[in-house]
Amino acid sequence: MPFSSLSPIKSITISSLDFGGNEMAIYSRCCGKDYLSSKRKCDICNKFLAKYVVKMQDPATGRWKTKTVPNLKLAKDIEAKFKTEAIEGKLLDKKEIGDISFDRFLEYAKLHRKTWKNDQGRWNIHVKDKDFMTKKGINNILGQMKKNGKSDCTIHHVLKLIKRVFNWHIQNEYYFQVNPCNGIKAPSYDNKATTFLSIEEIDKLIVDLEGWDNFRATNIILFALYTGRRKSEITNLEWPHVDMFNKTITCMKTKNGKNLSFPLCEKAYQILLKAHEQKISKYVFPSSSGHIYYNGFSLAWQRLKNRIGLKCRFHDLRHTYASHLASSGKVGLYEIKTLLGHSDLSLTQRYAHLTNEAVRMATCVIDDIF
């Protein structure tokens, strides 16, 4: 009789409340064949059965645990031990499930991730108060984002964030299960695609900013437009890192991990002069309370875009800065790389087609000369 077809006699009654109706039993074994524990002799060698197998299914994982012993008394002792371990959640050396806390992860991120505020924003908008503990729940989150018109890039970052949060908890032994993000494919997107404002759109934006009463947000937007700096580099900029005499700023711990200094054009320098007149804290572009102006600025930027119908991200101001430098024909890729603070020229190659076009236009000048 095959092992799977046996109807085992349970020497201990196990309630479905404890183990979900899963099997625990003792079998006799001889000549590679298993028998009910009431069987006396082996059908093959006709000898008395002298080995016993204790078998139990882990209610949490569905895996089976077995133990072979020389007598029935010991088998019953092992069976009782298995039952105790299962009740205590220790079967198969299984630890407790643990829990996932984004606030716990955020405490770590604030110390080790420069983009922790982006993580916090994405989590609060797309994940918080939703089922992110199961594969089905995560797929529902991503599906709803797609239905709401979110870009593949945004969906990709949200999935990456959820996976990162789980992995961090697993690595630090706060959570002991498999990451539910495993096997979920993130949508692909073109990371090299850039959006930048035309001259007409820039002019429209500047005119609107001149009549806007939010001078703190105005300063940040114009400074980004005139310097190409990232939002975090602007909002974290402190006065000790500004050299008004030499017209330079030093951004601390930039995205590539380095402290980098950048020269300022005259328009950017004038914005610093205005900011200095309004100085209330160590930050160059603070909130009204003197703290880092980050979340509040994001809301202000969104309201501005909605009011004037601007369809771009704040980061696209950085692309606008670099794109117009490249298309001017006066600045090479290496200089743009330095001004953007890129660690590798390959990151600047996205603007190569603009410089090539400028060079092509320059060659046409010869037609007017000869």
* Domain residue extents for the chain: 3-93, 102-171, 199-361
Residues of the chain whose pLDDT is less than 50? 1-22, 91-92, 94
What CATH superfamily is the domain 199-361? Intergrase catalytic core (1.10.443.10)
Dihedral of alpha carbons 104, 107, 110, 292, sign: positive
pLDDT in the model for residue 88: 59
Q: What's the CA gap between 328 and 324, in Å, rounded?
A: 6
C-alpha distances out from residue 20 to 15, 16, 55, 57, 98, Å = 8, 4, 16, 10, 20
pTM over 0.75: no
Judged on CB neighbours under 10 Å (0-12, 13-18, 19+), 218 is buried
Q: Is 13 left (phi over 0), alpha (psi -120 to 50) or beta?
A: beta
User: What is the distance, to the nearest Å, from the Cα of residue 181 to the centroid of all Cα atoms in its chain?
Assistant: 11
**Structure tokens of 155?**
């969906």
CB crowding 268-289: b at 16 or more within 10 Å, else e: beebbeebeeeeeeebbbbbee
pLDDT in the model for residue 272: 96
pLDDT in the model for residue 36: 74
pLDDT in the model for residue 7: 36
Q: What's the CA gap between 69 and 52, in Å, rounded?
A: 5
pLDDT in the model for residue 199: 92
